[in-house]
Structure 1
Amino acid sequence: EEAIVLALKTPRNSDERIWLGDYGSPLRDNALMLSLLEENKLLPDEQYTLLNTLSQQAFGERWLSTQESNALFLAARTIQDLPGKWQAQTSFSAEPLTGEKTLNSNLNSDQLATLQVRNSGDQPLWLRMDASGYPQSAPLPANNVLQIERHILGTDGKSKSLDSLRSGDLVLVWLQVKASNSVPDALVVDLLPAGLELENQNLANGSASLEQSGGEVQNLLNQMQQASIKHIEFRDDRFVAAVAVDEYQPVTLVYLARAVTPGTYQVPQPMVESMYVPQWRATGAAEDLLIVRP
């Protein structure tokens, strides 16, 4: 028991560069410690302390890594159904809410706008609110450690506008990713507007190839070949690449897309995120409308 107490009091090394293979974090480590204490029914007072610490840590994190999400699941699986009578008065119900387990309620926008909750019982009450919706306008570009830019070019390597395409036209999309720290596990996602389709360069009989493009495009291809690209996917609705981004060494990614369906479309923003430090992320600038004519 003394060894467990000592381990609980030993802080995690805060040097993020100590070892690239360490995907842990204070949140993940605390969640795993809580899970082990719960599983073995040890130190109930320390469990309560860890639970409070975890609540504060998780509330302050907008994004969680895969390891953190899994550790939180392990910690929560044994406590989510623990009995504990509670009572609360809310603005959306005239009668007090009571129960011995977790209660989930779905609220509309009007109820959410005037929501009030008061603990009318004699036990501590934990409240969590999740809101989901769609923004009315595209978010502004943002970057934290990572940065991403997108350029639209013609197959000759010159800048091309998306508002004057005809069905069948090819465009070259050039993504440039930078980082102020080394990020070995960056995931780049560029969602396609509905009027474009990817030209899969992995197909031997593809209808178009980057190798057939001009000299400027070949320079971009040479830069792309020098990047540490671990995986590339040409999906129906997006281009995806897993890359390692060295500190202050830009990564170049290029792909071909073809205008297919006439119409006017919004163009999603490109995104990049560290898979194990998800707060290291960036979104690029929004493009003008994509207009495809017959």
Structure 2
Amino acid sequence: MLSANILAERFAAPVDKELPGRVQEAIDRILQKQLGEGSFSLWSDSGDVAPWLSAYALDFLSRAQEKGYVVPEYFYRKGMQWLIDQVKNADNPQVQDLAPLAYAHWVLARTGQGRHEDARYLFDTWFAKIPSPLAQAQLAGALALLGDRSRAIKGLKAAMERANGDPASSWRNYGSRLRNLAGIIHIIAESGIKEVDPAPAWQELTRLFAQEKYLSTQEQAWLVMASLTLEPSSPLELDIAEQAPAQAKKEEKEQPEKKKPSLLTRIKAALSFGSSEPLEAEAPASPQDEEKEQPKPKTPKSTFFALQRDGNSLLSNRVTITNKGDKAVWLVTTVQGSPVKAPEPMENGFTIFREWYNTAGEPMPVDAIQQGELMVVTLQGEVKTGSDFQALLVDLLPAGFEIERPITERDTAFSWLKDQLTDNLYVDARDDRFVAAFDTKFLPKVNGNKKMSRFQSAYLVRAVTPGIYTLPPVEVEAMYRPEYRARSGVGTVIVSGAE
């Protein structure tokens, strides 16, 4: 988020003018999850300490402060002191502590508070046992910033070799191969170690990226950090040509009094360039000129290039981009819009369905609900991956309804749900949705099957406004393995006026 507008300018994309406000809001939300001793929890200021996420939060806060955002000094210093205490007291760490410790060393070294003797001890004694190649790179990067280049080079080379060849990843440190490679590329650049070439990591990263349909928030964040290390090389050598529809030419003939820009001018107006100067505008051409064969557009001399089109233009005009250079060019297509039909149900690693009951536990039809009526909505499903991870359950509320409150296992008002509800890590009843997070590691198994477990959440909802409403799908996904997800179908709910 901090660097989004930097990338936007570099890749000739629109700059988000509201981004600074959202960054400041993010800072405030993160600080709401800070615990008394300075560490952070994943969901609230009353949760368990999340050591790796504490380093991640302080990494973000330190970078935000460097960019001029307001980070309250008291809370920032308290967090940094917590990191210092962690590395000072890590004489005999457990394996699960190694990745958070490595990240802590990286954050402290970046902010000028690194402890070389502690980082050196961790490297010499525990480096091979650090469970994540990104964490290995963070420790090596910290040593680079502290002036220990020999250990840094050795560590970064080992981390990159492992990330390129090791298919394993651990969601416990929110990792994946793609995330690890992106993070290592970023650390190599930021630590200033020129002896380690990131090219092999880039090659594998781009291969993995092309295969992914979904990206976790961690993958997105570290991909941005990796992208910041890209430097302009030789300019692109592209020919861009657009074939206007025959109907457009016919209209131009029928309206000779109205001078329109030439085809070349229209193409130029749709292009934006990264580091190059914009192409000069061309004077409007006469209708007779439009009938003549237009010259090819000038080849853009730029490292980055963007062509923007609305949907109607893409349907009617054909754009051809030809690489005239001797180097490969990456082409990425981004589509924005609203779907013309509801998303189809899908399942991959999860199942999910929703049921409606009255407060006594009797099933209710969703096409015969009375205004003011209270109902219990249950969200049930199974996990079929056999893996342990954190999952997020989201149920969008149809219009005309308001959530009264979540229902938990300790809620005595609904005894018919006793022993059925998941002990969620986090629950939130918002104005427009119900959200719950849970850890699949602690779910009950289905009929003793170690690869299948079940979950169920519930909330109390009231019908407040008569009408016929679309019932959105309920969705569940693995937070850091987003390929595992499920979505129910779309329905209709009818609320009748009070009699």
1:262 offset after TM fit, Å? Answer: 1.9
Please say if residues 196 and 261 of structure 1, whose CA atoms lie closer than 8 Å, have aligned partners that are also in contact: yes
1:144 matches 2:296? no
User: 1 CA distance for matches of 2:327 and 2:364?
Assistant: 63
Mapped pair 1:84 → 2:288: no
- Aligned match of 1:223 in 420, 427, 430? 420
The residue correspondences of 1:38-187 to structure 2 (distance < 5 A) are: 38-39=189-190, 40-43=192-195, 46-79=197-230, 82-92=232-242, 93=267, 95-96=297-298, 98-113=300-315, 114-180=318-384, 181-187=386-392
- Of structures 1 and 2, the one with the larger relative CO (CA 8 A, separation 6+) is 1
Determine if the alignment matches structure 1 residue 239 to structure 2 residue 434. yes
Distance in 2, Cα, partners of 1:257 & 1:187? 20
Local SS of the residue matching 1:162: coil
Contact 1:86/1:99, CA 8 A, preserved across alignment: yes
For residues 196-241 of structure 1, what are the alpha-carbon distances to aligned partners after superposition, in whole Å with 9 as ceiling and x for unaligned? 1101258xxxxxxx744xxxx52324311xx231110000000000
Q: CA deviation at 1:179?
A: 0.4
Shift of 1:257: 1.0
Cα deviation digits, residues 169-198 of structure 1 (max 9, x gap): 222111112101244311100000111110
Q: 1:91 to 1:160 in 2, by over 3 A?
A: farther
Contact 1:146 1:177 in 2 (8 A): yes
Write the letter of the residue equivalent to 2:235. Answer: K
CA contact (8 A) 1:148 1:283 kept: yes
**Offset at 1:253?**
0.8
Structure with the bigger percentage of helix? 2
Give the match for residue 283 of structure 1: 487
User: Which ranges in structure 1 are unaligned for 5 or more consecutive residues?
Assistant: 203-209
Q: Could you tell me how far apart the structure 1 residues matched to 2:314 and 2:207 are?
A: 23
Q: Which residue of 2 aligns with 1:205?
A: none
- Aligned positions, number: 276
Please say if residues 12 and 26 of structure 1, whose CA atoms lie closer than 8 Å, have aligned partners that are also in contact.
no
For the structure 1 residues 159 and 91, does the alpha-carbon distance in structure 2 shift closer, same or farther, using more than 3 Å as the test?
farther
Shift of 1:75: 0.9
Q: Distance in 2 between matches of 1:59 and 1:112?
A: 23
CA contact (8 A) 2:406 2:428 kept: no
Q: Which residue of 2 aligns with 1:14?
A: 167
Higher strand share: 1
Structure 1 distance, partners of 2:484, 2:494, is 33
RMSD: 2.5
Q: Tell me what 1:272 maps to.
A: 476
Per the alignment, residue 32 of structure 1 pairs with 183
Tell me, in whole angstroms, the C-alpha distance in 1 between the residues paired with 2:236 and 2:389: 46
Distance in 2, matches of 1:228 and 1:182, equals 18
Following the alignment from structure 1 to structure 2, what is the Cα–Cα distance between the partners of residues 123 and 279?
Answer: 33
Shift of 1:35: 1.6
Give the greater-gyration-radius structure (CA). 2
Which whole-Å deviations, capped at 9, do the CAs of 1:45-94 have from their partners, x for residues lacking one?
x4233223212211211222222222211111121x52431132334436
1:99 to 1:153, Cα distance in 2 relative to 1, 3 A = farther
Alignment partners' CA distance in 1, 2:167 and 2:477: 21
Name the CA distance, whole Å, in 2 between partners of 1:173 and 1:102. 50
Task: For 1:123 and 1:270, locate their aligned partners in 2 and report how far apart those are by CA, in whole Å.
Answer: 46
Change (3 A) 1:28 1:243: same
Q: Is the 8 A contact 1:83 1:100 kept in 2?
A: no
Read off the aligned partner of 2:167 and give its amino acid letter.
S
C-alpha deviation, 1:269, in angstroms: 0.3
- For residues 111 and 248 of structure 1, the distance between their equivalents in structure 2, rounded to whole angstroms, comes to 49
With the length of structure 1 as denominator, give the TM-score of the two structures: 0.83
Cα gap change, 1:166/1:254 in structure 2, threshold over 3 Å: closer, same or farther? same
8 Å contact kept, 2:168–2:177: no
For 1:82 and 1:291, the matched residues in 2 are separated by: 57
